[in-house]
Amino acid sequence: MKVALLGCGVVGKEVRRILDEREDVEIVSILVKDEKEIDDERMTTSFEELLNKDDMDIVVECMGGIEPAFSYVKKAMLHHKHIVTSNKKMLANHYLELSKLAKENQVSLRYEASVGGGIPWIHEMHRVQRIDKIQRFYGIMNGTTNYILTQFEEGESFEKALKNAQMNGFAEQDPTDDIDGYDVRYKCMLSAITSFHIYLEEESIPVYGIRNISDKEMKYANQKNQVIKLMGNGYDEEGNYSIYVIPTLLPKTHPLSNVKNETNGLFMKSTTLSESGYIGKGAGGTPTAHAVVQDVLSIPSLEDDFIQGATNALTHTGRFYIRMQELDNHCAFISETINENTILSKEISLQTLYDYTKGNTNILFVMEVLQ
């Protein structure tokens, strides 16, 4: 197999190293942004030059971002090239179009590395579905926020924990996608595509991040002998889908309560296997590159997802901790008033929660409380 590599940053360099150590795969071209980056005779700043390499079979996209990555991937598909990508943001925004192009041009679209880093999450979802129907997925999908929450739990301030994450390379200088939960939303979209065979519009998936978490939440968790994790969730309840992202209060007996720092932990529930879990490095160049190379080596024996549009019904129910700027005494679903500006809800649907919190500037922090 002959491979062209788009991008040679943290992940791309590791992909190059792993593939160069193999005899069954050859990298024939590497796209870089600037001529100053060129330190390999295979490197070029011209996508057209890369695309026209003789006998090139697979384009591996490790650039990140939506553009120009999407335009390059689209053009490569039209030239009948298989695609392997780690780019969750591009996929979340353009999956339907890329999936359609893959079918029309009889090429593969692979994205194992886009969810869970080195954890073979997408592969395991396909494998489980040979026998089972997946009913639920959930877990810690973002290493940056898990690192921050672990540090916060151990006594660091939120600001210091974020700074430490940035210094250690776990967080970008602009951490918005991580701490506001958008990164997990992309991963939930791709997990729903793989497990439930549905595509949801990004805006239909409620996201509650950790930007406004405070010592009050940590104190409450400690009092309850619980821990807080930012969780991505997906339920298929007889065709009623509930996909959402939310900080979650977990009992310390829960397997995910001991998943610390940048580690990810992902679980799914299926009809005969019941619950199965996968824990491993969710970020970093080497784990992500491992997943990319696994996809390269799996071509062309690939699963074909039939995807249909769906509505995020948000029918799943739960209890929720809600901290406000000023207590809303008229809220219809208060079960308990925790303090002067925080309530615990009765069991309500996610739709009820979303209707109440969406656009409500009085809301500071929301988390789900697992019993």
Residues with catalytic function: 187
* Percent composition of the chain: helix, strand, coil (DSSP 3-state, to 5): 35, 30, 35
Contact (CB, 8 A) for 208 and 185:
no
Q: Alpha-carbon distance 43 to 4, whole Å? A: 10
Angle at 97 between CA 171 and CA 103, to 5 degrees: 115
Region of residue 343 (left: phi > 0; alpha: psi -120 to 50; beta: else) = beta
Structure-token pair, residue 67? 């553009």
Q: Do the bridges between strand 363-369 and strand 342-345 make them parallel or antiparallel, or are there none, so unpaired?
A: unpaired
d(CA 203, CA 166): 28
Interior angle at CA 278, CA 275 and CA 284, nearest 5: 155
DSSP 40: S
Q: Which residue has the tokens 């994790």?
A: 229
Task: Confirm if 83 and 110 have CB atoms less than 8 A apart.
Answer: yes
Whether omega before 68 lies within 30 degrees of 0, making that bond cis, reads yes
Task: Give me 24's structure tokens.
Answer: 């069954």
**The one-letter amino acid at 54:** D
251 cis-preceded (ω within 30 degrees of 0): no
